[in-house]
Structure 1
Amino acid sequence: MAAITSPGIGSGLDVNGLVSQLVAAERAPMDNRLSVIEATAKAKLSALGQIKSALAGLETALGKLTGNGALPGRKSTVPDAASFSASASADAVPGTYSISVEQLATTHKLRSAAAAPTTQIGYGTLTFQVGSGTPFDVTIDAGKGTLADIRDAINTQASGKGVFATLIHGNSGDSLVLTSGTQGSAGALTISASGGDNGLSVLATTGGTMTVVTPAQDAQVIVDGVTRTSSSNTLTDLITGVTLTLKQADPGHSFTLQIAPDPGSLKASVQGFITAYNAALSAIRTQSAAGGEGKTAGALSGDATARGIMQSLRTTIGNHYAELSQIGLTTAVDGSLSLDDGKFNAALTANPQAVKNLFGDDADFGKTLRDVVHNFAGSQGMLDSRTSELNQQLRSVNDQRLALNDRMTRLAEVYRRQFTALDAFMAQMQGTSAYIANQLGASPKA
């Protein structure tokens, strides 16, 4: 009898269907268990991520209250017509200053006489010096002496050395414009020519025909009768804590700069801390909600980490509530914070150091709270540790799924061999039955 090569053909038995159903039934308990573990781990990872994000926001808000950020800001005021603008940091001392801008710092710029585009100015060597820097040469080859050629040679050979060349195309021809890369008197350009046909001497700063477009000039400003020069039009060290930006020269005309306390910026930082702290509490509360009575439980319901963070934050606030209350911070029943503006302003008026004494780098409350937040949300903190554990759990689930798949593949082969053998046996039995029935039908009747 021929061998059965397609399961089920000999007997009509659905071998593949039976194998699939038996394997699915065998797989289901483990598969369902792994799916629950996987879904739970992913939900916890998401919840931990949201809490960590909220704590990172709190850490950022606390960072703004360190250093001078914990001191009242300063507000600078200048007349609209003033020849300068100003900004002030918390280091600035309140007061008024009489300021006049005598001259602005300018960048040395030179212009050659006009020449036709095809005119050969000359060839040889141009030697440049920027301020008191090291001189450097630019070689102009014979036949490559038009102003455009000279421009290209300077920009190529002097690249990065503080000289920039360009052309201006005017009615009378082209003019070569040379600009120093250094502002102020320290950027003064000195040019000399040598060798060649002596034609390049027209570009020399001594004996040539170059015109000064803008001089190599330092800024000069007078503050309360004290003169200061600078190569920059932005001065950060003229008055402690004040950045002065010179806009235009107005010799002999003084304008008043007023520096005054500005508690608004500090209040905004304190309010930012309150908002971030409340957001952190809300995130923890949402993700660790117990559920029940129609409410959905959070992914971290009953989780010790979430409880620990909440307790640590509220304990830190509670331990320093008396001091916080003195600058206007109050707590609600749920632990959230709010600010009494009037009390805050009064506290700063009485003591400008009040916030720094609480939140500053070395202040007990600020340091403790920053440490608490960092221990939970910082690199290699508790939340990172929990995240690593859950990711390891997900990797274990994946490994178990792969092992399950392998086991189910082997089991399917076992079932398939068994049912294929049964199929062949049943086919053989059916063949034997048909043969006997045929023989009985062919026997002579008595």
Structure 2
Amino acid sequence: MVNSIANSLGFGSGIDIPKLVDDLSNASRQPKIARLTELTQANQTRISAVAKARADLDGFADSLSQMIGDGTLRSTPTVSDDSVLGATSRAGLSADSFAATVVVNQLARAQTNFSGVVADRTAAIGTGTMTLTVGGVAKTITIDGTNNNLDGLADAINASAAGVTASIIADEGGHRLILKGPTGEANGFTLVADAGADPGLASFATDGGMTLGQSAADAEFTIDGIAFNRATNIVDDVVPGMSLTLKKAAPGQPVDIGANRPLDMIKQTVGDFVAVYNQLKASLTAASNLPGATTSLRELERDLGGLIHQVISSHGSINQLSDIGISVTKEGLLSVDNARLDKALETDAGAVEALFNPRRDATHNETTDPGIAFALDAIRDRAVGANGAIDRVSRSLETRQRTLAEQLAKVEEREDAYRTRLEKQYGALEARLAAFKATQTYLEQQIKLWTNQGND
């Protein structure tokens, strides 16, 4: 009778209450955590795929812009005597139409003045004000008790931002103050001591105290017999697409300048463009094929695909990538017909170059001739800008990631509470079983006592 009661309660059956709680808790928790973990990992995979696609897009656009920006694809100037003249290319140089003869008659010079020797550069030179005038603009130079020496005067002139540089050089027996202005005849300068200044400051005035080293002068040169003068020896505004550096005056000595087009580099760039485009296409396809928000990236894929037939220059017949043999395969990748590219280069190499290195002048601008780099930048900027394809997908995935993290935290919280309830319930059961055991032991003792009494 007693054994039957104990067995029916499970007492003495060897039940491991902590293990039972663990098993029940894990049976409730693990499927939910596993599902959320799976969803989180899948979302992270999408985030990584989108990040790679964006990195490839940025790299594609930036590398192409850099090649154009650093002149890799530009026509290269040629100079018959680079000891007299240097030349570098800028956007807009047309190699097939430019040739000229330059004669450098005079270089641009800056005015220089130098003082007499000052034995002690830290000795007082006098206080007061001086007026420094450059190109008609006057600046006041103040010498007082805080800067009353040669170093103080030089520092005050430099701090005035007048365009005149003051320096101090060592000379036999002491130091001299050297003043140098900007190049160009209009940039000559004067430094005069104002009324009331100590007499010592007059020693550093250009109207008698300092010696003129050289006067300011403009550069004078001719291009194909046409005379020009400029305030500097770097001339950017005469030859379209070319910057000239005048190095030496050589009157009567003509220097021929022209330009060579980097045909091999253009052909290589076309091949590189196709290869990098296909790499970007692969990463975009991998991302957009994932289920969920990444399918919006197909909008970006369509934009990129449209590049091939987008008009990117104002040339009449070679104004898009398809005109030079670039086409789209059935897989959505690019390929290049080298025979057609060679034919385009043979027909009009300048027009091919302009697709990558667009001309910039009064009639060619980013609207009429965007070039492939500008067009690609526009696509990239739209994609990563507010509400663009990549921006929308990225924000959606980030929101999803936060939501999953919050759900996971709530599941953990609920499962912890469930485990606590199990521990409480089975703890109470264990306590009741212990009470039953005590009752059983008492009954067994009483029955045994009664039995022994009946046998007496």
TM-score, normalized by length of structure 1?
A: 0.76
Shift of the alpha carbon at 1:32? 1.1
For residues 216 and 378 of structure 2, what CA distance do their matches in structure 1 show? 56
What whole-Å deviation, never above 9, does each CA across 1:286-328 have from its counterpart, x for those lacking one?
557xxxxxxxxx85699855777667766886999x9866533
Q: Counterparts of 1:186-265 in structure 2 under 5 Å?
A: 186-193=186-193, 194-208=195-209, 210-264=210-264
1:404/1:138 Cα in 2 relative to 1: closer, same or farther (>3 Å)?
same
2:346 is aligned with 1:349? yes
Match of 1:387 in 2: 394
Query: Does 2:402 correspond to 1:402?
Result: no
Instruction: Tell me the distance in 2 between the aligned counterparts of 1:73 and 1:95.
Output: 13
Greater mean deviation of Cα atoms: 409-418 or 121-130: 121-130
Which residue matches 2:79?
A: 78
Q: Which moved more, 1:125-134 or 1:26-35?
A: 125-134
1:308/1:253 Cα in 2 relative to 1: closer, same or farther (>3 Å)?
closer
Is the contact made by 1:55 and 1:373 (CA closer than 8 Å) also made in structure 2? no
C-alpha distance in 2, partners of 1:249/1:55? 49
| Aligned counterparts of 1:44 and 1:86: Cα–Cα separation in 2 | 50
Q: Which residue of 1 aligns with 2:151?
A: 148
**Residue 319 to residue 105, structure 1, CA distance change in 2 (3 Å):** closer
Q: Which residue of 2 aligns with 1:283?
A: 283
Aligned to 1:121: 125
Residue aligned with 1:95, SS: coil
CA deviation profile, 1:248-267 (whole Å, cap 9, x unmatched): 33343221112355544544
State the one-letter code of the partner of 1:138: T
Q: 1:432 aligns with which of 439, 443, 452?
A: 439
SS of match in other structure, 1:427: helix
Q: Tell which deviates more after alignment, 302-311 or 212-221.
A: 302-311
Deviation at 1:336, TM superposition (A): 3.8
Q: Report Cα offsets for 1:69-105 as digits up to 9, x if no partner.
A: 9xx9533101354312112346345232221223332
Partner residue of 2:141? 137
Report the Cα distance in structure 1 between the residues aligned to 2:17 and 2:401, rounded to whole angstroms: 35
* Cα distance in structure 1, aligned partners of 2:225 and 2:302: 60
Q: Partner residue of 1:38?
A: 40
Distance 1:50 1:376, change over 3 A: farther
Alignment of 1:93-112 (within 5 A): 93=94, 94-112=97-115
Give the deviation of 1:357 after TM superposition. 9.8
Unaligned segments of structure 1, at least 5 residues:
1-10, 289-297
- 1:238 partner SS: coil
1:319–1:168 Cα change, 3 Å: closer
How far is 1:113 from its partner?
Answer: 0.8
TM-score, normalised on structure 2? 0.75
Q: Which amino acid aligns with 1:232?
A: T
Q: Is the 8 A contact 1:356 1:363 kept in 2?
A: no
Distance in 1 between the 2:116 and 2:253 partners? 37
Q: SS of the residue aligned with 1:386?
A: helix
Aligned-residue offset at 1:237: 0.9
CA-CA distance at 1:27 after TM superposition: 0.6
Supply the RMSD in Å over aligned alpha carbons.
4.2
Alpha carbons of structure 1 residues 240 and 213: separation in structure 2 relative to 1, 3 Å: same
- Residue 422 of structure 1 deviates from its aligned partner by 1.4
Q: Deviations over 1:24-48 (max 9, x none)?
A: 2111111111111111111122223
| Identical columns (%) | 28
